[in-house]
Every structure is written in C-alpha cells, then in structure tokens.
Structure 1
C-alpha cells in the first residue's frame, strides 16, 4: 500500500490542522472553478446559495449570515437584483425594511450550479476505491461538525 505524503505531518494536531487547511482550501478552489456562472463574484454566489438554503431575509440578516458589512451586502444585492436573480419586497411587519428573495431565474441558476459542481465531484469520487469513499463518508460528518463549531 502506498504511504501518504501526509502521514508524517499529520501525527500531531497542529500538523493535521495544517494539512486540513491546505487540502480543504484546494478542494474548495477546485469546486469554485466548476461554477456555472463565473461572472458572479464569490460574494454574490454565496448570497444566492444562502437565500436558496434559508429563504428570504433582510439584507442585514444576509450580511450577518455571510459575515460581511451591511454596505457590502447592499452592493451585492443591488448587483444580483440588476441581473434579475433576486428581488426586494417590503417587509410585511415593518414597511421601512426590505426582504430579499431569489427570483425563479436565481433559483434555477443555483440548482444548475449545484448540479454541475456535484457532477464534477461525483466523477472524482468514482476514481476512488470503495474503501476511500467509505472513509470520506465518515470524514464528511466530522468535517460538518467542525464547520458548525
């Protein structure tokens, strides 16, 4: 069995942290490269995905969720609205506030983008052994727990 080049560096928690940072970052970049619409900024894409996952929200809630300043989110929402991917509506409980939601075009773009990225990743997974895929299934649960902490 081929020895991993990471086996020496992952013996300590600090080493494991360093390796995980590199490989997770590399995988994230590879997945971003599979984006359907590369004319969208990463922030715009993240906002679309958040709205698809959580439903309509105020621009402030969206900014908080994405960990950006409200003025930045205002610019992101304006650009997405100009492209017809989101719409703003008055908040039913407070007419001074607005709610942002996906349009049908925005929802379809997110779905198509997800399909494309997942197809790319599924193809990469097919290149692995069944044992490696089982290991990744277990690791996915652990990585999800890490990402939520």
Structure 2
C-alpha cells in the first residue's frame, strides 16, 4: 500500500508543467508547497512558514524571495510586531494554485473513469481511511 500511495502522489506531482505564460520559471515543489500552505492555512510570518514546512529559515527566505519576485506572494507588516512581516498569496498566487488543482483533478477524473464500478466503489470506501492515515502523527 505504501508503494502504491507513494507512486500516485509522485504521479500527481509530476503533472506540474512549466508555467504557461513562459515569463516565469516553474515553481519547485518546495516553492509550490509554501504557497499552498499559506493559501490553505492563512497568513503566516516567515518563521511560522519555515516551521510549518519543516525547513530552515534561510532556505525559506530564498523561497519567499522567489515567490515575491514572481508576484505570487505578498508581504505586509505584522499588525502587532513591527519587526515581523506577514505573508499571504496574491491573486496571481491563488490563480496558480487553482489551475494546478484543476489540472490534477482532471487527470484523476480521467483515470477514475478507466476503472470499473466496483473499483471506484472500493476507492470511495477507502478514501476516509486513507484520509485518517494521512492525518496521523
């Protein structure tokens, strides 16, 4: 099961194409994950984002700088601590994430349509169990 889940995850990650506008380089998985974390969990400080993504702050600083440079991430002053900044995706960042999600969902829908009704039913019943496993610590 571990191998199958890992293969499916890897396959979905490989669906991330070069940026369509060709004006910007494609995001690395780390850059994409940081942007997605902010969209999913809300604004964070750079330190909170580094901790969340389990990377060292200097590495996250480079990720943040790239995302800001690409117009995908905005930095605003922290409301209570003038030494801090708060990060959030821009409209362009949210649009990029939505497009990536759409592409992956289309790919998965096509693959699910290739399965039998019985196979789809098995996956439907297994989904809550897999979700439970994914949330375990």
TM-score for the superposition, normalised by structure 2: 0.89
Question: Which of residues 24, 43, 48 is equivalent to 2:30?
Answer: 43
Please tell me the root mean square deviation across aligned C-alpha atoms, in Å: 1.2
Aligned: 1:148 with 2:132: no
Aligned: 1:81 with 2:68: yes
Q: Is the 8 A contact 1:59 1:100 kept in 2?
A: yes
How many Å apart are 1:36 and its aligned residue? 4.0
Q: Is the 8 A contact 1:34 1:117 kept in 2?
A: yes
How many Å apart are 1:37 and its aligned residue? 3.9
Counterpart residue number, 1:28: 9
State how far apart, in whole Å, the 2-side matches of 1:134 and 1:62 are.
38
How many Å apart are 1:75 and its aligned residue? 1.0
Give the match's secondary structure for 1:96: coil
How many Å apart are 1:42 and its aligned residue? 0.4
State how far apart, in whole Å, the 2-side matches of 1:101 and 1:37 are.
23
**In the TM superposition, what are the counterparts of 1:2-13 in structure 2 within 5 Å?**
none
Moved over 6 A (4+): none
5+ residue gaps, structure 2, are: 20-25
State how far apart, in whole Å, the 1-side matches of 2:117 and 2:18 are.
33
Instruction: Call closer, same or farther: CA 1:138–1:108 in 2, change over 3 Å.
Output: same
Counterpart residue number, 1:17: none
Give the match's secondary structure for 1:94: coil
TM-score for the superposition, normalised by structure 1: 0.82
User: Paired residues, what number?
Assistant: 130
Q: Is the 8 A contact 1:44 1:76 kept in 2?
A: yes
State how far apart, in whole Å, the 2-side matches of 1:138 and 1:69 are.
39
Give the match's secondary structure for 1:100: strand
